[in-house]
Structure 1
Amino acid sequence: MTRLTALASAATLAMALIGQQATAAMKTETIEYRIGDETFSGFMAWDDEFDGKRPGILLVHEWWGHNEFVREQAQKLAKEGYTAFALDMYGKGKLAEHPDTAKQFMQEATSNFEQLKERFLAAKGLLEEHDTVDGGKIAAQGYCFGGAVVLNMARSGVDLDGVVSYHGSLASPIKAEPDKVKARVQVYTGGADQMVPPEQVAGLVEEMQLAGVDLTLVTFPDVLHSFTNPGADKIAEQFGLPIGYDKNAAMRSWQGTLDFYNAIFSQ
């Protein structure tokens, strides 16, 4: 073996070891849990490169159900130093491949708000009890259906430091009331989102203002529903839905979210 070949081999081995170490730092776990007679399947992610207890973030999936997209978001948060738990709002095995099925699952989940809240709180408890989590520092973020869920959890007074809604419905029969909402609220919506029309945006601002809620709302001009999900364009083409991925809006909302968490958890 020549010296050059030996050096190249050593470099390849070193890079492989670095890759293994990086992979080893990221920890993920699929957690099955029961609520009443139903089984749910969530996904916990954290990074061992960060020492000590850290804030925990709950993630609520789109109307499709607990899928790969929401698990990827959990891992992105873990890389930033949080422990993230992508919960399951529908029940184990309920993952839609067609909008009609997704709508059915969503309607079943939202037909009983107390049941929905029970599922959210059960997942929150699992996150708070994780060895890496400071149970006094918890936030939640959601996408589409999940965005509406986290907003309603804030409206109902769930003890959260903050919530972030991405392209979620902003209208709700549940209304924020003065001194009831504990969380700071951040909302990202698309200016061309047919599912979240301007009157919903205006209504949310008025509602939160009257309730004295700390609200940050960002609307992206000409951006469609589901703008954070790179798979949205394919789904739009397949089913003729008015949705679409927008790289700029996705990047800006992600960075805004990280800044938001840094602010609320550094207090």
Structure 2
Amino acid sequence: MLAVLFSCNSNDKKKEPEMKEPKLKEENVTYAAGDINMNGFIVYDENIEGPRPAVIVVPEWWGLNDYAKKRARDLAGLGYIAMAMDMYGNGQQADNPDSAMKLAGPFYQDPGLAKPRFEAAMSKLKSYSQTDATRMGAIGYCFGGAQVINMAKMGEDLKGVVSFHGNLNVVPANKDLLKAAILVCHGDADPMVPQTETDLFKKQMDSIGAKYVFKPYEGALHAFTNPAADEVKKKFPDLPVAYNAAADTASWKDMKDFFDRIFK
């Protein structure tokens, strides 16, 4: 009798769903922003069926490089469809600060330049059946962090954006335009984003009742999420950059928690 009961109880147990390792599908894509040819990198997990939240990755001022693509892969591993976008056009990249500033500078002087390029990337990403167009977000690093905050302030239809060590006040805050929640991941020792800038950002956000979270990471300098920052520092000693593993790990977790909340 005990054997029969044990057998019945065993059969009644529900099997736990089998977790599959991500099977990432990667595509190098081209698209247009007006008359400018753009490159992009789209990646998603083929083991996930149906639409899912989508995240655009805006690169550092170096352009669409391997680091931006790595972060897109990381996002795909979390279950999103991700696109590392080309902000400069034609896949242009910089290998030194002077050429990077020549590429990035116009976007600081005229932030509106980024809008049609960002929207072109959004349209490309929306064309994928894996994209849930009602749940879109963006992350950006350094220059890219400034751009995703700008896009949110300009009223892009995003659930939320995350800036990693990006500038904060290129575009004024406007309560009539801002729809997205904002997470700022900031190195509190970053001289390129000084306290005067962070204080002004918080003041502006608070003045319009914005949904934002500001997360400082102790001792972190500019580019704290990028392991290549230390090599960059060796090549260009005047750049105040350094990788910070603790801040990198903590900020990625903060991003995951943020997206878990806004994509519900």
Per the alignment, residue 16 of structure 2 pairs with none
Q: How does 1:89-238 map to 2 (within 5 A)?
A: 89-172=87-170, 174-238=171-235
Provide the aligned C-alpha RMSD in A: 1.3
8 Å contact 1:110–1:116 — kept in the other structure? no
Per the alignment, residue 60 of structure 2 pairs with 62
Alignment length (residue pairs): 244
8 Å contact 1:32–1:42 — kept in the other structure? yes
Q: Report the CA distance shift for 1:176/1:109 in structure 2 as closer, same or farther (over 3 A).
A: closer
Identity %: 39
8 Å contact 2:168–2:201 — kept in the other structure? yes
**For residues 180 and 56 of structure 1, what CA distance do their matches in structure 2 show?**
21
- Post-superposition offset of 1:22: 5.3
**For residues 36 and 261 of structure 2, what CA distance do their matches in structure 1 show?**
37
Residue aligned with 2:83, SS: strand
Per the alignment, residue 250 of structure 1 pairs with 248
Which structure 2 segments of 5+ residues have no match? 1-19
What amino acid does structure 2 have at the position aligned with 1:184?
A
What amino acid does structure 2 have at the position aligned with 1:142?
G
Residues 11-60 of structure 1: CA deviation (Å, up to 9, x unaligned): xxxxxxxxxx957x210100111222221110001001112110000110
8 Å contact 2:111–2:150 — kept in the other structure? no
TM-score, normalised relative to structure 1: 0.88
**For residues 264 and 171 of structure 1, what CA distance do their matches in structure 2 show?**
23
Q: How does 1:46-85 map to 2 (within 5 A)?
A: 46-85=44-83
Q: Report the CA distance shift for 1:213/1:53 in structure 2 as closer, same or farther (over 3 A).
A: same
TM-score, normalised relative to structure 2: 0.89
Going by fraction, where is helix more abundant, 1 or 2?
1
Per the alignment, residue 39 of structure 1 pairs with 37
8 Å contact 2:184–2:215 — kept in the other structure? yes
Residues 93-125 of structure 1: CA deviation (Å, up to 9, x unaligned): 411111100010001344433331000011011
8 Å contact 1:156–1:181 — kept in the other structure? yes
